[in-house]
Amino acid sequence: MKLEEGWDDGFEEASRRAAHETLAAARSRSLVDIGYTVVDSPIGRLLLASTRAGLVRLEYLDGDPDETLEELAGTLSPRVLEDPERTEPARRQLDAYFEGRVRTFRTPLDWSLTHEGFSRRVLEATAAIPFGSVTTYRDVATRAGSPRAARAAGNALHDNPIPIVVPCHRVVPSGGGVGKYGGQEWRKEYLLRLEGALHGAG
């Protein structure tokens, strides 16, 4: 048993070293277009993916990350590699946000996964909603230039590739309640309570 345990430890160390060397070689040749990492948070595991331009994807992981990684490879670039260093600025700000030390995200964003036009304008308007505030789908649609397109604004927010940082949780129905949320409503409620924007927040 001791021999087997020692062999396992040596194999794991060799695997870590090989992964580190592969990543270092890829970086030196500028072969990493998208670096990603998976982190824990109070609302579950999160996959963070960044390009050289900035954070391009934040995914609530309720399962395996492979589907999201395949989507990134097919949509942006096949050169996707686990690279915690690339996502470190966003990860640190998320940690500080959940700890109540950060109210405004300053990590650069890459909008490559957002369609140009109305959807992009909706998300840019959403990114400007202050911490602790909420607004309505109609108001976001108005800011994006189409006051009657509240439903379309809701669709754009549902497809938001960078939730939390682009705070679609701060957009709620004009009739009350928190409304639907691509990351499940309990997460939306948690984020609004964290920011003191939901009645009953502690």
Give the active site residues: 168
Output DSSP code: residue 117: T
80-82 and 135-136 strand pairing: unpaired
3-state secondary structure of 173: coil
Contact indicator for 39, 46 with CB cutoff of 8 Å: yes
Angle at 83 (CA atoms; ends 80, 84), nearest 5 degrees: 145
DSSP state of 41: -
| Residues 93, 95, 96: CA angle, nearest 5 degrees | 65
- C-alpha 177/C-alpha 181 separation (Å) is 12
171 neighbors 140 (Cβ within 8 angstroms) = yes
In the chain, DSSP assigns E strands to: 34-39, 45-50, 55-61, 80-82, 135-136, 171-172
Read off the tokens for 6: 């020692």
